[in-house]
Amino acid sequence: MNVAMIGSGYVGLVSGACFAEFGANVTCIDVDQSKIDRLNEGEIPIYEPGLDDLVERNVKAGRLTFTTDYDPAIAEADLVFIAVGTPTRRGDGHADLVYVYEAAKQIARHLDGYTVIVDKSTVPVGTARQVCRIIKEENPDADFDVASNPEFLREGAAISDFMRPDRVVLGVENDRAEKLLRELYRPLNLIEAPILVTGLESAELVKYASNAFLATKISFINEIANLCEQVGADVHAVAKGMGLDGRIGRKFLHPGPGYGGSCFPKDTTALIRIGQEHGSPCRIVEATVEVNAAQKARMVKKVRDALGGNVSGKTIAVMGLTFKPETDDMRDSPSLAIIPNLVDKGATIRAHDPQGVEEAKKLLPAKVQYFDDVYEMFSGADACVLMTEWNEYRGLDFGSIKSKMAGNVFIDLRNVYEKTQMLGNGFIYYCVGR
């Protein structure tokens, strides 16, 4: 089976490599020449555990290639996936579909023989039909169907999520398209991964509804954490007590500085817009977004309060910058809301991240100082903030860290450390909801 993947970012590259691993011949296409050059030189442009080996293996086997050229991959493809970005459109919160529509036009010009064009990007309800309309307009003779196959992989665990998904959602309009997609995903039958076949609109909405629900869980537990701080409760005990109820579940009930990343922020705002446009507001999601923004602001206040109400002239060491561990993705990371605010208020920021520094440099104020050696970062710091819970921060020698610091304030925004342990190391310890 021949597959073309339009867009070779987090989703396109991982999905393309995984489909190749399933045995398909995959061509990953991207407009970014430097990205394609790097891939052709054997370099992986993103940090995703295990992706380098997977790509190398499938390139060597001749099943995975990279190009900027739509020709001849589209003509030869049985299935063409659209996995381009759908960022928030400036000004109105809507998903920006320019990349999807541009890809659809390009695909249309190169189609040859029956082809299924599949939206893998997260797109508003109705997009698959728009893609269908664009292709018909560009190439009235084209023989094709459109389908929707939203992607649920998580960065940092993308390959195992793709290879062992909780579910695969196929939005299709006829048996012919369904058959081809089922054939592509056939290796997953071995592990009995559930395959849910729906109409186009339902498939498009499953993705937004799922992300909005997870974001809601996070905002919910963050509000409960804030309440815990007021009433003297421990949010971990509360979350555990809630999560043991099978109807609620334990996952995504961990408090922190607010959600971020390439999906939740943009997908929640896009869902709000979809609801408004269809006269069916998603008020819970609206509140989720508001609570999330407030949580980031609350973290700034937490740092300020911990430093006596004023961060001006203080040096703060920040552990972790990416929106979560095991990725170099900085998109909408809470650090992008919190650090500039502290810099504006006069703080000096010293920062460390195992993978995110290159991206962070493009997005954070120029004054932020970066360190390769995490221990060196703490020299002379008045306070330390744990922003992202990378595993390598779990086993640090806090006695040595404390001795390097000028102050003794430790603000754990991810509730990774035990209070008694940190007090034992001579810190004044703050966390979230405990």
Active site positions, annotated:
263
What are the CA-CA distances from residue 247 to residues 250, 251, 333, 345, 414 (Å)?
Answer: 10, 12, 30, 44, 25
Q: Please, what is the minimum distance in Å from the beta carbon of residue 177 to ligand NAD?
A: 20
- Residues 180/145, Cβ–Cβ less than 8 Å: no
By the rule CB under 6 A, 35 interacts with ligand NAD: yes
CA–CA gap between residue 325 and residue 321 (Å, rounded): 9
> Using CB under 6 A, which of the segments 24-32, 164-172, 236-244, 358-366 binds ligand NAD?
24-32
Looking at the Cβ atoms of 35 and 296, the one nearer to ligand NAD is 35
Name the strands in the sheet holding 369-370, side by side, starting at the edge strand that comes first in the sequence.
Answer: 369-370, 348-352, 315-319, 383-386, 409-412, 428-430
Q: Please, what is the minimum distance in Å from the beta carbon of residue 47 to ligand NAD?
A: 12
Q: Could you tell me the two tokens for 135?
A: 């292709």
By the rule CB under 6 A, 151 interacts with ligand NAD: yes
Residues 89 to 148: which contact ligand NAD by CB under 6 A? 99, 102-103, 106, 121-122
Helices 283-306, 264-277: axis angle to 10 degrees equals 140
Looking at the Cβ atoms of 117 and 411, the one nearer to ligand NAD is 117
Which residue is nearest to ligand NAD, using beta carbons?
Answer: 9
Q: How many residues bind ligand NAD (CB under 6 A)?
A: 27
Which uninterrupted H or E stretch holds 148? Answer: strand 144-148
Q: Could you tell me the two tokens for 337?
A: 């809301």
CA–CA gap between residue 64 and residue 75 (Å, rounded): 17
Q: Work out which of 17, 25, 27, 85 binds ligand NAD, going by CB under 6 A.
A: 85
Q: Could you tell me the two tokens for 289?
A: 């977004």
By the rule CB under 6 A, 153 interacts with ligand NAD: yes
Looking at the Cβ atoms of 57 and 105, the one nearer to ligand NAD is 105
Q: Please state the separation of Cα 178 from the chain's center in Å.
A: 28
By the rule CB under 6 A, 239 interacts with ligand NAD: no
Q: Work out which of 77, 184, 205, 263 binds ligand NAD, going by CB under 6 A.
A: 263
- Residues 315/382, Cβ–Cβ less than 8 Å: yes
> Using CB under 6 A, which of the segments 3-11, 171-179, 337-345, 378-386 binds ligand NAD?
3-11
Looking at the Cβ atoms of 34 and 230, the one nearer to ligand NAD is 34
Q: Please, what is the minimum distance in Å from the beta carbon of residue 378 to ligand NAD?
A: 32
Torsion (CA) 289, 259, 320, 310 in degrees, nearest 10: 40
By the rule CB under 6 A, 259 interacts with ligand NAD: no
Looking at the Cβ atoms of 8 and 216, the one nearer to ligand NAD is 8
Residue type for position 125: V
CA–CA gap between residue 112 and residue 30 (Å, rounded): 20
Q: What are phi and psi of 425, to 5 degrees?
A: -85, 5
The three-state secondary structure class of 82 is strand
> Using CB under 6 A, which of the segments 59-67, 81-89, 277-285, 299-307 binds ligand NAD?
81-89
> What's the sign of the alpha-carbon dihedral 341, 342, 348, 349?
negative
By the rule CB under 6 A, 390 interacts with ligand NAD: no
CA–CA gap between residue 375 and residue 378 (Å, rounded): 6
Q: Please, what is the minimum distance in Å from the beta carbon of residue 370 to ligand NAD?
A: 23
Which uninterrupted H or E stretch holds 169? Answer: strand 168-171
Residues 329 to 388: which contact ligand NAD by CB under 6 A? none
CA–CA gap between residue 207 and residue 210 (Å, rounded): 5
By the rule CB under 6 A, 86 interacts with ligand NAD: yes
Looking at the Cβ atoms of 8 and 219, the one nearer to ligand NAD is 8
Q: Please, what is the minimum distance in Å from the beta carbon of residue 53 to ligand NAD?
A: 20
Q: Please state the separation of Cα 216 from the chain's center in Å.
A: 16
Q: Please, what is the minimum distance in Å from the beta carbon of residue 285 to ligand NAD?
A: 16
Looking at the Cβ atoms of 262 and 341, the one nearer to ligand NAD is 262
Q: Could you tell me the two tokens for 4?
A: 């073309």
Q: Which residues bind ligand NAD (CB under 6 A)?
A: 6-12, 29-32, 35, 83-86, 99, 102-103, 106, 121-122, 151, 153, 155, 262-263
